[in-house]
Amino acid sequence: MADDAPQTDPPAETTIRSRVGFGGRMLTVRVDDVRLPSGRESGREVVEHPGAVAIVAVTDDARVLLVRQHRHAVGRALLEIPAGTREPGEDPAATARRELIEETGYAAAQLTVLTEFFASPGYTTERLWLFMATGCRPVAGQRDAEEPAALEPVPLADLATVLPGIEDAKTLVGLLWLMRGESP
């Protein structure tokens, strides 16, 4: 690591009490009282999330599969890489294969993990597994009929043009990661 500096983690917080502040159908908010390293008490509100997958999916004819869908939380439609929430206990690779077919109607020949990261570690436990899917081909009749996302394949060569219009964190990570690998 940089300058061979010692990698000492900052002191952690100790949880004193924990309760469920909100238990909804999709979201749970945990309210924790913590003791800070200074000895002072403070509160933490945490969104509990089962985790999600996102897939950089490239077709046999060198196009990246993007989907446009309405996002109620932000009040408009966004162009994103295919993604979905894990079922409890589900293997992330299984979630990725399922979501790719449901959202795009394509199946991957190869599926590998590019990286894993947290969506917004200040307040949500959401962890994302970012997959690279290659050799993607349409699978007849497999796209989810209830799927509200519109498929928009983008040629690899056009990614730099599309990038400024991307407003979704996981999609930016996925496309920038892909473009880094594609660059000379």
Which of the following is catalytic: 126, 147, 152, 182? Answer: 147
Q: Which three-class secondary structure state does DSSP give residue 159?
A: helix
State how far the Cα of 99 lies from the Cα of 83, in Å rounded to an integer: 6
Q: Residue 118 to residues 80, 137, 165, 167: CA-CA distances in angstroms? A: 17, 30, 22, 17
Which one, 36 or 139, has the nearer CB to a second copy? 36
State how far the Cα of 23 lies from the Cα of 121, in Å rounded to an integer: 20
**Whether residue 147 lies in the annotated active site:** yes
Q: Give the nearest distance from C-beta 108 to a second copy in angstroms.
A: 20
Annotate 136-150 with DSSP letters as a single string.
Answer: EEE-TT-S-TT--PE
Which one, 12 or 139, has the nearer CB to a second copy? 12
Q: Give the nearest distance from C-beta 49 to a second copy in angstroms.
A: 8
Which one, 107 or 156, has the nearer CB to a second copy? 156
Which residues are the active-site residues? 147
